[in-house]
C-alpha cells in the first residue's frame, strides 16, 4: 500500500471511477493518484481497461460513475479540449504527427503563432515558432531541429516532437500511450531520458506500456489493471517484473 502522508499532494485523482459500455463493464471502482514530478507506470493486458482509463482522463468520454479531481477540485470534462485546458495532454501511440510538416509546424499545429501583416491579415510567424521549438528541444536536450520534416526523423526524434508539443501547451499531466513501442532499442533509452527530464521539471506522467523493462527503468510507481479492476498500486521498488507479470496474467490475484 502507498505510504499515506509521505506522498506529495496529488495533481490528478480518480475516485471510484467506473465505465460501462452497455452491459460490458470496462472499468470498475478505479482509484488513482498522480503527483507532480512522478512517473506512474500503468500496465495491463489487452482489454484490461488501460485505454478506457486514459480516454476518461483525456476527456474523450465521461466516467459512468465516480469522479475526477484536479488539485483536489472536482473536474468535469466535456471533451478533449476541456482536459487540455486543464493541463492534461495525451501523447498517442501513433504519435499523431503529420509526416509532411516540419517539427515546428507539428508542435504548433492548431495553435500557430501569427503576426500581423498589411494591417488586416494575420500570417504564420514561422520564425517565432522555430525559435520556440528550438527552445523546447534544448529544454528536452533533444537534437531534433525545428525545420526538419517529421518524415525524415527517427522514432526517438518523433517522440521528442510529440513531447515538445505537450510542453508548448504547458501541460502539467502527460498521459503517454506506449511511447517506446514503435522505436528501435537504441532510441528507447533516449525517450526514457526525455521522460525523466519531464519528471524533473515537475510534470506528472502516466506511462502506459507493455514493455516491462521500460516501466521498471523510469517509473516511481506501478499500477496494474486486470479486467477493469486495479489489482496493484505500489512503489516500483516494492515490486518486481515477475510479480507484475503475475498480476497482469492473473497468476497473482492482487498485491
Partner 1 sequence: MAERALAALPEERRGSRLVARLLASQAFWVTLATLIIVVVMMAISDAFASYKNVFNTTRNFAFIGIMALGQVVVIITGGIDLAVGSVMGLSGIVFGMLMAAGHSLWLSAALGLLVALAAGAANGYLIAYLGLSPFVVTLGMLSVARSLALVVSNNQMVYQFGPDETLLFALGGGETFGISNPVWILVVLTLLFGFLLNFTVWGRHIYAVGGNPQAARLTGLAVERIKLSAYLLSALTAGIAAILTIGWLGSVTNALGLTYELRVIAASVIGGANLLGGEGTAYGALIGSALLEIIRNSLLLAGVDPYWQGTFIGLFIVLAVLLERIRGRRSA
Residue that is written with C-alpha cell 500496465 in the block: 43
CA distance 176 to 206: 6
The strands making up 65-70's β-sheet, listed across from edge to edge, are 24-35, 10-21, 65-70, 73-75
Q: Which of residues 9-68 bind partner 1 (CB under 8 A)?
A: none
The residue within the footprint of partner 1, chosen from 40, 105, 203, 225 (CB under 8 A), is 105
CB neighbour list of residue 229: distance below 8 Å, 6 or more residues apart: 27, 28, 29, 30
The residue within the footprint of partner 1, chosen from 35, 75, 92, 245 (CB under 8 A), is 92
The residue within the footprint of partner 1, chosen from 20, 145, 211, 229 (CB under 8 A), is 145
Stretch that binds partner 1, among 26-34, 70-78, 104-112, 198-206 (CB under 8 A): 104-112
Is residue 141 part of the contact set for partner 1 (CB under 8 A)? no
Is residue 143 part of the contact set for partner 1 (CB under 8 A)? yes
Is residue 110 part of the contact set for partner 1 (CB under 8 A)? yes
Residue 158 CB, shortest distance to partner 1, in Å, is 11
Residue 20 CB, shortest distance to partner 1, in Å, is 25
Pairing mode, strands 39-44 and 88-91:
unpaired
Residue 225 CB, shortest distance to partner 1, in Å, is 23
Q: Which pairs from 168-171 meet CB under 8 Å and 24+ separation? A: 168/107, 168/108, 168/111, 168/132, 168/136, 169/84, 169/87, 169/89, 169/111, 170/87, 171/84, 171/87, 171/88, 171/89, 171/203
The residue within the footprint of partner 1, chosen from 9, 100, 213, 250 (CB under 8 A), is 100
Nearer to partner 1, 87 or 228 (CB): 87
Output the nine-digit C-alpha cell for 49. 481497461
Quick one: 119 exposed, middle or buried, by C-beta within 10 A (0-12, 13-18, 19+)? exposed
Stretch that binds partner 1, among 11-19, 144-152, 174-182, 221-229 (CB under 8 A): 144-152
Q: Which SS3 state, helix, strand or coil, does residue 248 take? A: helix
Q: Which SS3 state, helix, strand or coil, does residue 107 take? A: helix
The residue within the footprint of partner 1, chosen from 9, 96, 127, 251 (CB under 8 A), is 96
Residue 100 CB, shortest distance to partner 1, in Å, is 4
CA distance 160 to 107: 10
Nearer to partner 1, 75 or 124 (CB): 124
Enumerate binding residues for partner 1 (CB under 8 A): 80-81, 84, 92, 94-101, 105, 109-110, 112, 114, 117, 121-124, 143-145, 147, 151-154, 157
Amino acid at each position: 500500500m502507498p505510504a499515506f502522508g509521505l506522498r506529495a499532494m496529488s495533481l490528478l485523482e480518480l475516485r471510484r471511477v467506473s465505465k460501462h459500455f452497455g452491459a460490458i463493464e470496462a472499468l470498475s471502482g478505479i482509484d488513482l493518484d498522480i503527483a507532480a514530478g512522478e512517473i506512474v507506470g500503468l500496465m495491463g493486458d489487452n482489454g484490461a481497461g488501460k485505454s478506457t482509463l486514459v480516454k476518461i482522463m483525456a476527456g474523450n468520454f465521461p466516467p459512468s460513475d465516480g469522479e475526477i479531481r484536479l488539485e483536489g477540485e472536482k473536474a468535469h470534462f466535456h471533451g478533449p479540449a476541456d482536459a487540455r485546458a486543464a493541463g492534461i495532454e495525451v501523447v498517442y501511440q501513433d504519435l499523431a504527427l503529420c509526416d509532411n510538416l516540419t517539427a515546428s509546424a507539428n508542435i504548433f499545429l492548431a495553435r500557430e503563432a501569427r503576426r500581423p501583416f498589411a494591417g488586416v491579415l494575420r500570417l504564420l510567424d514561422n520564425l517565432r515558432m522555430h525559435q520556440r521549438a528550438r527552445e523546447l528541444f534544448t529544454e528536452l536536450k533533444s537534437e531534433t531541429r525545428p525545420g526538419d520534416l517529421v518524415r525524415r526523423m527517427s522514432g526517438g526524434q518523433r517522440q521528442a516532437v510529440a513531447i515538445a508539443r505537450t510542453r508548448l501547451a504547458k501541460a502539467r499531466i502527460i498521459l503517454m500511450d506506449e511511447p517506446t513501442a514503435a522505436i528501435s532499442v537504441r532510441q528507447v533509452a533516449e525517450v526514457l531520458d526525455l521522460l525523466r527530464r519531464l519528471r524533473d521539471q515537475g510534470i506528472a506522467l502516466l506511462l502506459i506500456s507493455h514493455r516491462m523493462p521500460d516501466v521498471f527503468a523510469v517509473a516511481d510507481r506501478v499500477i496494474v489493471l486486470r479486467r477493469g479492476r486495479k489489482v496493484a498500486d505500489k512503489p516500483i521498488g516494492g515490486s518486481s517484473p515477475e510479480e507484475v507479470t503475475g498480476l497482469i496474467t492473473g497468476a497473482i490475484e492482487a498485491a
